[in-house]
Structure 1
Amino acid sequence: MKKLRQIKLGLYNLKTKARKIFRRGYEDLTMLIYYHDLKQQFQLLIVNTNNLLLLKREITRAEAFRIMNTRA
């Protein structure tokens, strides 16, 4: 099992040089999508209310836009 890591979401984009392009909250979880301009990669982050990183995954452009266009 992967170790949970404490992150500061405000500093994540400064460290990785990524832009936050999407954010959606569900009760005590938050899903974020970041885009790295230089690498042309999308990253999906799932964090809980204590800013513990539960999932960090590289996704394709198609997956990112599918997530952003899905209505909850």
Structure 2
Amino acid sequence: MEKLKKIKIELYNLKTKARKIFKRGYEDLTMLIYYHDLKNQFRLLIINANNLLLLEKEITRAEAFRIMNTRS
């Protein structure tokens, strides 16, 4: 099992030089999408209430916009 990483979301964009373009929270989980201009990359992050990174995955532009446009 992959080791969970403690993450400070405020510093994530400074470390990766990406900017947060979307955030959605539900109960104790938060989903964030970051975009890196120079690499033209979208990243999906899922974190829990204790700021433990549960998932970090590169996604396509289409996937990012589908997630952002989905109503819940």
TM interval, shorter chain, is over 0.9
2:2 pairs with 1:14: no
Query: Map of 1:1-72 to 2, 5 A cutoff?
Result: 1-72=1-72
The Cα RMSD (Å) is: 0.3
| AA aligned opposite 1:37 | D
Q: Deviations over 1:4-38 (max 9, x none)?
A: 00000000000000000000001000000000011
TM-score (norm 1): 0.99
Q: Deviations over 1:18-69 (max 9, x none)?
A: 0000000010000000000110000000000000000000000000000000
Query: For residues 64 and 22 of structure 2, what CA distance do their matches in structure 1 show?
Result: 9
Give, in angstroms, the shift of residue 2 of structure 1: 1.0
Query: For residues 20 and 57 of structure 2, what CA distance do their matches in structure 1 show?
Result: 14
Q: Percent identity?
A: 82
Moved over 3 A (4+): none
Give unpaired runs (5+ residues) of structure 1.
none
Query: For residues 25 and 3 of structure 1, what CA distance do their matches in structure 2 show?
Result: 23
Give unpaired runs (5+ residues) of structure 2.
none
